[in-house]
Amino acid sequence: MTALTLTLTLAFSRLGRDSGVNPGTKFVRGSIPRAFAGMMFVFPLSVLSIISLHWLVPGVHFLRVEISGTRLLSMVGLYLVLAAYEEIGFRGYPMRQLLRSFGVWPTLLLIAPVFALYHVVLGWGLLQAFIGTGAGSLLFGMAAVASRHGLAFPIGVHAGWNFVTWSLGATGGGIWKMIFPGDMTTRVQTIGMCTYLACMLIGTMLLWFWSSRRKWHLPQQISGSNFS
């Protein structure tokens, strides 16, 4: 799916009405450092969103789980590929076209419900998709805007958040397992969603502030040949 999305992106960027829009998919020397920077940026926020449950909900603790190095590396690769697939599809060529016409916030708010519906099609519940992935879409979209380069930074942000969530047992499996009393499930889910949204919002606003301070003029940068 990643390869197919990349192929379609390149086709649309060449055959579309405005072929001057660079989809940001070119792999360059700085791509790996920017992806790593994205992971490092989101690491404390994603950890805080889950670890805070230990302080906010009585009885929540984390149990270390034995996991092989091969399994760990395979999960890192999986989340990187999944993040690349979704970022190319949602924050690549389509978002860059929309940015030229609508600007930053309208574009991010247009893409968020589409990103949520995509997860509904994958089997997510409506509430979980629209609140959870909707907030994620704003963060990843702002990461693409703030980086002023291609998709490496938002891919790192996306993959980093998902990997930490898995590692801490919030999505099953992981390096740690989240343990709490069975009668606390609803409370854990409710507070967990609140901490998740708070950390997503903090990350989005930090990136927006960074972007606005750099005085980036969207139309010129999006169509520039150095957008990679």
Question: What phi and psi, each to the nearest 5 degrees, are found at residue 176?
Answer: -125, 155
Query: Looking at the domain assignment, is residue 28 inside a domain?
Result: no
User: What is the domain range of residue 96?
Assistant: 37-207
Torsion of CA 167, 170, 173, 175, to 10 degrees: 30
Query: Looking at the domain assignment, is residue 173 inside a domain?
Result: yes
Query: Looking at the domain assignment, is residue 53 inside a domain?
Result: yes
* Three-point CA angle 186, 188, 63, nearest 5°: 130
Tell me how far apart the alpha carbons of residues 199 and 164 are, in angstroms, rounded to a whole number: 13
Q: Tens of pLDDT along 87-123?
A: 998 998 888 888 888 989 999 999 999 999 999 999 9
Domain total of the chain: 1
pLDDT at position 128: 87
Alpha-carbon distance values, 211 to 123, 204, 205 (Å): 34, 10, 10
Query: Looking at the domain assignment, is residue 174 inside a domain?
Result: yes
Alpha-carbon distance values, 5 to 23, 84, 181, 218 (Å): 12, 9, 42, 24
pLDDT at position 173: 78
What does the pLDDT average to over 213-223?
49
Query: Looking at the domain assignment, is residue 216 inside a domain?
Result: no
Q: Tens of pLDDT along 172-195?
A: 778 999 998 888 889 999 999 999
Name the strand (E) or helix (H) holding 147: helix 134-147
Query: Looking at the domain assignment, is residue 180 inside a domain?
Result: yes
Residue 224's pLDDT band, with cuts at 50, 70 and 90, is: very low
pLDDT at position 140: 97
Q: Tens of pLDDT along 48-66?
A: 999 999 999 988 999 999 9
Percent of the chain with pLDDT over 90: 59
Q: Is 122 helix (H, G, I), strand (E, B) or coil?
A: coil
Enter the pTM of the model.
Answer: 0.87
pLDDT at position 5: 78
What does the pLDDT average to over 157-161?
97
Residue with tokens 């520039």: 224
Helix 69-91 to helix 2-15 angle (10° resolution) is 20
Distance of CA 205 to the CA centre of its chain: 14
Query: Looking at the domain assignment, is residue 61 inside a domain?
Result: yes
Q: Report residue 140 as tokens.
A: 């990843």
Instruction: Label each residue of 27-84 as H, E or C.
Output: CCCCHHHHHHHHHHHHHHHHHHHHHHHHHHCCCCEEEECCCCHHHHHHHHHHHHHHHH
Tell me how far apart the alpha carbons of residues 37 and 174 are, in angstroms, rounded to a whole number: 23
What does the pLDDT average to over 160-168?
95
Residue 217's pLDDT band, with cuts at 50, 70 and 90, is: very low
Query: Looking at the domain assignment, is residue 213 inside a domain?
Result: no
Residue with tokens 């649309």: 12
